[in-house]
Structure 1
Amino acid sequence: MASIYHFTKRVYGSFNPSEVSKSSDAIRFGMLGAANIGPMAFIIPAKTHPDVIVAAVAARDLKKAEAYAKKHGIPVVHKSYQDLLDDPSLDAVYIPLPNGLHYEWALKAIQAGKHVLLEKPSTSNAEEAKSLFRHPLLSQPNAPVLLEAFHFRFHPAWQTFLSTFDSTDIVDASAEQFLPAGFFPDSDIRFNYALSGGTLMDFGTYAISSIRQAFRKEPISIAEASHRPMPKSRDKEIDHAIKAKWNFPNGGVGRIEADLAARGGYRLPWLTKSWPKLALPKLTVQLSEKEVLDPKHKRHTMQRTVVFWNMIGPHLYHRIDIVDKHSIRNIDNGGLIESWSETSYMKVYEWPEKGNGKVGEAWWTTYRHQLEEFINRIKRREGSGVWIDGEDSIKQMEMIDATYLKAGLPLRPTSNYLGSAG
């Protein structure tokens, strides 16, 4: 009963936090786009941050922007994205636009002197990423802060998970992410090639990011990639689901499987193969077998496997399973004499040790932790130490590009603004 109480209290606090008083030098944000992700990813977290004010919004449809502003208590509605960027009272922008618009409007925001919190994926391809994150404006004194919003990486649970293993010991890391068929219609913008859609550009970006984080290195090659195409009447360039495998410098293998219309996976497949699939996102890391000092046995080894359930939304629920498999073998012929497993579980909703820039409450979402670090960087304050720099975002897009090419799909289209960007 206690666990149910704490779960309910934490989730309620995540979605219904009390608004705090704002500081006199709070960062004033504008939103480019009246996106569905906006409340969870930005508006609600902003209510609880004393240094953040959501001051304005703009959308392609003025009436939609006005309705959005009224619903979420945003005081100013601008007639266009550019009008919002030209507003001198705004310090920063949050950009949750369709993928294909990220590059143009992030760069225009930087050119307007605004700090940018940019939804993932940062751009449509690596060429755009290099142009954006290596832009000369970002290397100037007092340059705007630009952050790709891989929110899960800022949560204490993710950072604790990374501390449970040495990345050089990874033999195999596998990320699996499924949304049930029917959750998004095939007409959703996520499946529009012109807007840089595709499962790899949506759910798959998290899978790739988590694999890269686990290894702390970039892959040396891509071994294989395949995709399930959209129905025949839809974009042939779009991946409904994707699988891929990479080789990493330490000899380990990284894998992903991402599906935005998953079916099956249950018992009695003849009956259930067409049922929408329900499954928590999962990252499994298997480490190399190690010798254990054991005075009673001459050949005692242990192999650790760490599983992170729901790594992209750990604030709602997660569990980290640490499984240590022990084996006793015959020293002469290597035959297995005995084996057993020891399993421990972890749930981490706050920093194990607070202080030194590590703050937060159990109900803080991944987005709230991310916003904390974004504001810390703007105000040049000590933070938790978690950050995603521009080169990281470039490497992310390079891995996505390589995966698409290996799967026989074209790269997502480059913005026309790239050639005119100064």
Structure 2
Amino acid sequence: MAAALLGWVQRVYSEFKPPVATKNNGALRMGILGAANIAPMALITPAKSHPDVVVAAVAARDFKRATAFAKKHGIPVVHKTYDDLINDPAIDSIYNPLPNGLHYEWTLKALRAGKHVLLEKPSVSNAEEARSLFLHPILQGPNAPVLLEAFHYRFHPLWSTVLNLFAKEDVEEVTAISSLFAGMFPKDDIRFVYKLSGGTLMDFGTYDVSTLRSIFGEEPVSVKSVAYRPAPLDPQCDEAIVAEYEFSGGRAGKIDADLQAKGGYPLAALTKNLPSFRNMLPKVEIKLKPKVEKVDGGLEKTTRKEIIVWNFMAPHLYHRVDIITKTQLKNPQDGKVVKENKGVEYIKEYKWPEEQARKKGEEWWTTYRYMLEEFVNRVKNREGSGIWVEPEDSIRQMEMIDATYKKAGLPLRPTNHTLEVSK
């Protein structure tokens, strides 16, 4: 136990204080649009250990804030405007963590300036914007800039390990659950502002949608039901949302996301507004179809498997995969159960397994560090892990989100006025 705790402390320390790599000639010089809170975790810290990435500049609407941000994080150049940053000839790539409603406009401007773009999820506000952006002619051709939607959890070895535990056609039911306790964000946070394309489905919920699509390996046939709790200051935004989907063969998917979780305690009348910490560790529950076979003695053996992935969003901090196998022996003549058994196996995967040693990674690499590795590989035309979020994937993601909002009776997130319609 002591050794495991020490290992965890060492790993997490290295995640926040990684070794600083000597930068190579030709390293990507990246600029950040906005002094976003996510930027240190998503780019600045991971870049320290990457020999081919330099965070070289930042711009924000508030120049003083950008200056303070740059000073705190050791960024040498502060531009007065987003346009100045995008048009800086010394910058190769742009990281865009702006509010969702600004993703389309500023990503397209960066691409037009010849910059590669690492784009925070969700990529844009709706499927119309997604099709316009990801199918844009500027992304076609051999020398086109690279555009990646930052679904970082997919790049960690854990997710590949999970997907290799089953055949997609054997999946029967999937539930993705994620929440943050009430008070984590103020009620007027940008996540709850409709005109900025806010909503829980556009934040934590977008991860849940992504996991369902990744596990089933296909798009849902229909959205069966949606229930949501409106944000108190902007009822066009969902503060919490639950949705059920039907996939091929009648298989079921469900998401449950809440950015202001509260209640669930005894004496509900008194405790209903207390912050809830029940689902602070995001999880995905995967139920596989039962397998039935004949065994000796004329008995029938039924095997059912369930896989629970704990903390799929930030597995570098901590994660665990529970593989639960239940077996039942039954006499098919009278239906009597002769014997039942339950076994549980636990898996953890912080780096690529030995048989995949050609793939780069360290136990302390975060999901963002793994993603940055692949972003650089794609920009520099290097062979990498093979993991990527393809343009079609990003489009389908937004189509499923749009369909969910339509079923809920909520308006789609607003389209940016700069939208370009492909001819």
Match of 1:246 in 2: 245
The answer to which of 411-420 and 287-296 deviates more is 287-296
Partner of 1:341: 342
Going from structure 1 to structure 2, the CA distance change for 1:391 and 1:116 (only over 3 Å counts) comes to: same
- In structure 2, the partner of 1:104 is 105
Please give the secondary structure, in 2, of the residue aligned with 1:416: coil
- Tell me whether 43-52 or 352-361 shows the greater mean CA deviation: 352-361
User: Which residue of the partner structure matches residue 172 of structure 1?
Assistant: 173
Residue in structure 2 matched with residue 122 of structure 1 by the alignment: 123
Mapping 1:299-310, distance limit 5 Å: 299-310=300-311
- CA distance in structure 1 between the aligned counterparts of 2:245 and 2:276, rounded to whole angstroms: 26
Q: Is the 8 A contact 1:356 1:382 kept in 2?
A: no
Q: Is the 8 A contact 1:357 1:382 kept in 2?
A: no
The 1:122/1:330 distance shift into structure 2, 3 A limit, reads same
CA distance in structure 2 between the aligned counterparts of 1:137 and 1:311, rounded to whole angstroms: 34
The CA distance in 2 between the partners of 1:43 and 1:249, in whole Å, is 41
CA–CA separation in structure 2 for the residues paired with 1:354 and 1:116: 32
Q: Equivalents in 2 of 1:269, 1:313: separation in Å?
A: 31
In the alignment, the residues of structure 2 paired with residue 152 and residue 195 of structure 1 have an alpha-carbon distance, to the nearest angstrom, of: 24
* SS of residue matched to 2:418: helix
User: Shift of the alpha carbon at 1:81?
Assistant: 0.4
Assess if the C-alpha contact under 8 Å between 2:175 and 2:286 holds in 1: yes
- Does residue 1:256 correspond to 2:255, yes or no? yes
Indicate the SS of the match to 2:129: helix
**1:392 alignment partner in structure 2:** 393
Distance 1:6 1:269, change over 3 A: farther
**Counterpart code for 2:196:** L
Q: Which moved more, 1:205-214 or 1:274-283?
A: 274-283
- Residue in 2 that maps onto 1:202: 203
Distance 1:23 1:355 in 2: 26
Q: CA deviation at 1:266?
A: 4.3
Over the matched positions of the two proteins, sequence identity in percent amounts to 56
Q: Structure 1 residues 261, 5: closer, same or farther in 2, change over 3 A?
A: same
SS in 1 for 2:295: coil
Distance of 2:316 and 2:244 partners within structure 1? 29
Q: Return the alpha-carbon distance in structure 1 between the equivalents of residues 334 and 63 of structure 2.
A: 76
What secondary structure, in the 3-state scheme, does the structure 2 residue paired with 1:417 have? coil
Segment drifting more, 94-103 vs 285-294: 285-294
What's the CA shift for 1:419?
4.4
Q: Alignment partner of 2:200: what SS?
A: coil
Distance in 1, Cα, partners of 2:215 & 2:266: 31
Matching residue's letter, 1:265: G
The RMSD of aligned alpha carbons is 1.5
Gaps of 5+ in 1: none
TM-score (norm 2): 0.96
**Partner residue of 1:314?**
315
3-state SS in 2 of match to 1:308: strand
Letter matched to residue 242 of structure 1: I
1:237 matched to 2:258? The reply is no
From the superposition, tell whether residues 354 and 331 of structure 1 become closer, same or farther in structure 2 (CA, over 3 Å). Answer: closer
Paired residues, number:
420
Question: What is the Cα deviation at residue 421 of structure 1?
Answer: 9.1
CA distance in 1, matches of 2:358, 2:267: 51
Is the CA contact (8 Å cut-off) linking 1:356 and 1:384 kept in structure 2? no
Q: Structure 1 CA distance, aligned partners of 2:410 and 2:371? A: 32
TM-score w.r.t. length of structure 1: 0.97
Structure 1 window deviating more from structure 2 (36-45 vs 164-173): it is 164-173
SS at 1:243's partner residue?
strand
Check whether the contact 2:136–2:422 (CA below 8 A) recurs between aligned residues: no
CA contact (8 A) 1:218 1:395 kept: yes
- By how many angstroms is 1:3 displaced? 1.0
Q: Give the C-alpha shift of residue 354 in structure 1.
A: 5.8
The reply on whether 1:283 has 2:273 as its aligned counterpart is: no
2:155 counterpart letter in structure 1: F
Q: Could you list the per-position Cα deviations for residues 33-80 of structure 1 after superposition, in whole angstroms to 9, with x for gaps in the alignment?
A: 100000000000000000000011000011111110100000011110
- 1:54-203 → structure 2 map (5 Å cutoff): 54-203=55-204
* Residue 334 of structure 1, CA deviation: 2.5
Task: Indicate if the aligned counterparts of 1:356 and 1:383 stay in contact, CA closer than 8 A.
Answer: no
Question: Is the alpha carbon distance of 1:214 and 1:355 closer, same or farther for their aligned partners in structure 2, counting shifts above 3 Å?
Answer: closer
**CA pair 157-420 structure 1, distance change in 2 beyond 3 A:** closer
Q: Which amino acid aligns with 1:282?
A: K
Distance 1:421 1:289, change over 3 A: closer
C-alpha displacement at 1:176, in angstroms? 0.5
How big is the shift at 1:359? 1.1
The AA in structure 2 aligned to 1:315 is H
Structure 2 vs 1, CA of residues 245 and 128 (structure 1 numbering), >3 Å: closer, same or farther? same
Structure 2 residue runs of 5 or longer lacking an equivalent are: none
> Contact (CA 8 Å) 2:132, 2:420: kept in 1 or not?
no
Determine if the alignment matches structure 1 residue 295 to structure 2 residue 296.
yes
Which residue pairs with 1:26 in the alignment?
A: 27
Equivalent pair of 1:220/1:248 in contact (CA under 8 Å):
yes
Check the 8 A contact 2:298/2:331 in 1, yes or no.
Answer: no
In structure 2, the residue corresponding to 1:123 is in which secondary structure? coil
Counterparts of 1:260-271 in structure 2 under 5 Å? 260-266=259-265, 269=268
C-alpha change, 1:290 and 1:356, in structure 2 (3 Å) is same
